[in-house]
Structure 1
Amino acid sequence: MSPPQSLLRVLQRQHAHIASLTSRVMESVGRERQGAVTDLLQYVALHESAEQTFMHPVAIRSVGDMSAVQGRVAEEREIEAVITHLEGLNPDSVDFMIYFGLLEEALSGHTRAEEEVEAPVLGAVVPDQEIEHMARGLELVDVWMDPATRSIDGSMARLPLLPGPAGQVGFGELQRRSLEAFDAVFRLR
């Protein structure tokens, strides 16, 4: 498989998982919904942090058409704003469902644009070795989210996987900490 295809496949697999987690939120109620929301926010925080660490810096350096990159970054900021508002709402409330609909729409548009705009642009201008590095970096999300493997090269991943209500780590803090962890891994490679 060519490096651009490997990157696209990782993105598609992770985006399909985000869609599945989103559906799980919509289909559940009560405590089950809260758990589904937590799972979704954990995955989105790690996925976006991995993109910010492994994809965006290369894209900004390499891509002549900055709108392909800047558009995705702006979409991520919109997603973060909706999630920040969503975190303070009761998962069974009407307000939650309205904001969750906005989140679902923003995630869907964002993931589609990454697959159809950003990934092809990167594949056309970024050296294969860097594309492979991006794909491997994004795959760390799945390693950290798998409770059976939560390790990288023998080191236990120590990420605060608890976004949610008061007393737990919020999405912004989870994303900040995961960015730090991905940055540390990036520097080791």
Structure 2
Amino acid sequence: MPSPESLLRVLRRQHAYIASLVFRVTVSSGQERESAVADLLHYVALHESAEQTFMHPVALKSVGDLAAVQGRVAEEREIEAVITHLEGLDTASMDFMIYFGLLEEALNGHTRAEEDVEARTIGDAVAEADVQSMARDLELVDAWMDPATHSIGGSVAQLPWSPGQRNGARFEELSRKSLEAFAAVSRIR
């Protein structure tokens, strides 16, 4: 029987990193908070785009419980909507803190559901080799976020690869370019 452990390891590590970025936003202020928000949104854009490219399509074709996957996709759309609103707010404002609290809650629920429901459902339905391949593909997120290896797909979609290079790119643009880059990687493989 296939096991979701390789996929769960990657998801847990990336989700823990997201939680650390969320914490960094909550304990910072001023320019440091703005930088922390940019780092968080950049990582979330890459992470969710990788899941949409490598994980959800396989799950939608393979699992018996489509609601487990469709629920995660719906949660991602809700997260994107909160982020879109959040991006227009002053990071020192009360409105920002309210929407950031909503984002934190949505991310926590979403990451738990991916680990507890979707990854386990995939592990039950997909061959071990496919689960391991999916885990390796998701690890591209970490490679792209590491400035030392940012060249992996730089020419594919012209994505600003490191958080410091975001240059005002909005979440929607980061997500779109991330999806383009991951789709190119998917076609190559």
Mapped to 1, the partners of 2:161 and 2:101 lie a distance apart of 23
User: Does structure 2 conserve the Cα–Cα contact (< 8 Å) formed by 1:143 and 1:151?
Assistant: no
Show the counterpart of 1:88. Answer: 88
| Residue equivalent to 2:124 | 124
Cα contact 2:59–2:122 (8 A) shared by 1: yes
* 2-structure distance, mates of 1:35, 1:125: 40
Q: Percent identity?
A: 69
What are the equivalent positions in structure 2 for 1:58-77 lying under 5 Å apart? 58-77=58-77
Contact 1:162/1:170 (<8 A) preserved: no
- Offset at residue 48 of structure 1 (A): 0.1
Corresponding residue for 1:46? 46
The residue aligned with 1:33 is 33
CA drift of 1:149 comes to 1.5
The TM-score normalised by the length of structure 2 is 0.92
Q: Cα distance, 1:81 vs. partner?
A: 0.2
Give the residue type in structure 1 aligned to 2:63: V
Secondary structure at the aligned position of 2:139 is classed as helix
CA shift at 1:128, angstroms?
1.3
The TM-score normalised by the length of structure 1 is 0.92
User: 1:1-23 deviations in whole A, cap 9, x for unaligned?
Assistant: x7621110000000000000000
Q: How much has 1:160 moved relative to structure 2?
A: 2.7
- Normalized per residue, which structure has more helix? 2
4+ residue segments displaced more than 6 Å: none
Unaligned runs of 5+ in 2: none
Q: Distance in 1 between matches of 2:45 and 2:169?
A: 12
State whether residues 87 and 170 of structure 1, in contact with CA within 8 Å, keep that contact through their aligned partners in structure 2: yes
Q: 1:94 to 1:35 in 2, by over 3 A?
A: same
Letter in 1 for 2:90: N
Q: Who is 1:110 aligned against?
A: 110
For 2:145 and 2:176, the matched residues in 1 are separated by 16
Task: Letter of the 2:45 partner, please give it.
Answer: A
Q: Distance in 2 between matches of 1:49 and 1:117?
A: 19
Measure the CA separation in 2 of the matches of 1:3 and 1:148.
32
1:108 & 1:171 partners in 2: Cα distance? 19
Distance 2:81 2:26 in 1: 20
Does structure 1 retain, via aligned residues, the 8 Å contact 2:75–2:110? yes
Read off the aligned partner of 2:5 and give its amino acid letter. Q
Distance across 2 between alignment mates of 1:87 and 1:97? 12
Please give the residue correspondences for 1:171-182 in structure 2 after superposition, counting only pairs within 5 Å.
171-182=171-182
Residues 104-146 of structure 1, C-alpha deviation per residue, up to 9 Å, x if partnerless?
0000000000000000000000111211121011100000001
Q: Which residue identity is paired with 2:60?
A: I
**Cα deviation code 1:138-187 (max 9, x no counterpart):** 100000001111133xx646413588xxx721101110010000000011
Q: Report the more deviating stretch, 103-112 or 121-130.
A: 121-130
| CA distance, structure 1, for counterparts of residue 70 and residue 183 of structure 2 | 21
Q: How far apart are the structure 1 equivalents of 2:71 and 2:39? A: 26
Q: CA deviation at 1:68?
A: 0.5
Q: CA deviation at 1:45?
A: 0.1
